[in-house]
Amino acid sequence: MTHNTPLSPRPRPLHSLADGRRRPMTVAQLRAHGVSAAETNEQCRPGGPWQQLLPNVVLLHPGPPTSEERLHAVLLYAARDRGAGPASGAASGAAPAVSVSVPVQPGAEHPPVPAYAEAMITGLAALTLHGFAAAPPLPSLDVVDVLVPRMRRLRTTGCARIVRTTALPTPVELTGVPVAPVARALADAVAELTDPGTVRRLLTEAVRGGHCEPAAVVRELNRARLLSRPHVVDAVDSLVAEGRALAEQRLYRMVREHGLPEPVWNVDLRLPGGPHLGGVDAFWPEQAVALELDTRAHRKQEDDAAWAEHARKREHLERLGITVVHLTPRKLRDCPEHQAAVVRTALMAAGDREPAAYVVVLPR
């Protein structure tokens, strides 16, 4: 051997490898640690110290996996190898490895958190990780849904259920694993649920718990073509009503906490002896400023007609000299100070405009 001959990495003893890591590993990762395929097969024999949880995914201890280990096993099975081509893992049905890990702080009890490429937890498991009380605990789930790109060559097997999408959303990291955003996870969960009560509880908690706005949920349900199911439609109606009530509460709080003049709430506007102009959520008669909350459900079959009606009403009011302020529930939730400033600006600008037409204000 010359001085230029590279040294081969010294294989770690199998017992030290298992003792130092509780999470699953892929066959390729074991090979990188010097464990051959034959040694892996020997360790995974019936009654052996290791077990194969999923194709190409090995748990380095006997006995049932923990919920955390199942999550990581499913992600290892579904994640694309960062160094592989598009067809990697096609023969076995799984990408063999994940090549990047994020180190933990010194003294931490857990090993590095893997960075999983093109895979994230979704469905009921994701909702549980997001903290949904209506979602079942992880140990009670027979399968864990994992979201992957549509063209990936993977199959549902064992505890891993493959969910495909044309465009992956940006995941949220929770408990060290990538998790689909709430709206997407809800749609994937609802796709597998048939109990109306469960669907309604999950959708209601999404809005009541402040996880997301109704419009975002309905967009995902519509994209998944779930709005033709009667029990989903019924739950969406409850969801929209819940979202509307929360948005109105935020609007009342914004007016009160930011010192805006008190408007008349939830009124219909009408020309004297003339046609009905439409309803608004708040109206300041002296300044001729109307405010509307956009709490439409954004269902495709209704959206065009609803938006056309909204635009017609707004144009008619503005032709009469009435300023219309349009707010969304999300803006009220995320930046109420800015929305209050928008309303205040409209009220202050009233003195610089021509007087508006006289309108009759009626309770709605």
Q: Which of 152, 169, 192 is the last residue of a domain?
A: 192
Number of domains in the chain: 2
Whether residue 117 is contained in a domain is answered as yes
As a whole number of angstroms, the distance between CA 26 and CA 153 comes to 17
Looking at the fold, whether 152 and 277 belong to one and the same domain comes out as no
Residue 27 lies in a domain: yes
Report yes or no on 240 lying in a domain. Answer: no
Does the residue 185 lie in any domain?
yes
HSE (side-chain half, CA atoms, 13 Å) at 74:
31
Q: Is residue 152 part of a domain?
A: yes
- Which structural domain, as residue segments, surrounds residue 316? 259-363
Q: Report angle CA 113, 114, 118 to the nearest 5 degrees.
A: 135
Which of 175, 192, 209 is at the close of a domain? 192
Do 25 and 138 fall into the same domain? yes
Return d(Cα 237, Cα 10) in angstroms, integer. Answer: 63
The answer as to whether 237 is a domain residue is no
Q: Which stretches of 123-267 are DSSP H helices?
A: 123-129, 182-190, 196-208, 214-223, 230-257
How far is CA 137 from each of CA 38, 142, 164, 197, rounded to the nearest angstrom?
37, 11, 24, 18
Could you report the per-residue pLDDT of 279-318, keeping only the tens digit for each? 999 999 999 999 998 876 555 445 556 667 777 888 888 8
**Same structural domain, 187 and 265:** no
Whether 174 and 291 map to the same domain: the answer is no
Domain CATH for 348:
3.40.960
**Final residue of a structural domain among 192, 212, 247:** 192
Residue 249 lies in a domain: no
DSSP β-bridge partners for residue 194? none
Q: What is the pLDDT along the chain (364 residues), one digit of tens a residue?
A: 455 544 444 445 555 565 545 579 999 999 988 999 999 999 999 989 999 999 999 999 988 999 999 999 999 999 986 544 333 333 334 434 343 333 333 333 444 445 688 999 999 999 999 999 999 999 999 999 999 999 998 999 999 999 999 999 999 999 999 999 999 999 999 999 999 999 999 999 998 888 988 888 999 999 999 998 999 998 888 888 888 888 899 999 999 999 999 999 999 999 998 788 889 999 999 999 999 988 765 554 455 566 677 778 888 888 899 999 989 888 888 899 999 999 999 999 988 888 888 889 998 8
Distances, alpha carbon 213 to alpha carbons 127, 131, 220, 225, 358, in Å: 15, 16, 11, 19, 36
- Same domain, yes or no, for 185 and 268? no
d(CA 175, CA 69): 12
Same structural domain, 48 and 183: yes
Do both 167 and 278 map to the same domain?
no
134 shares a domain with 32 = yes
Work out the number of other CB atoms within 10 angstroms of the CB of residue 88.
18
Judgement on whether residues 136 and 53 belong to the same structural domain of the protein: yes
Identify whether residues 185 and 264 lie together within a single domain.
no
Is 206 part of any domain?
A: no
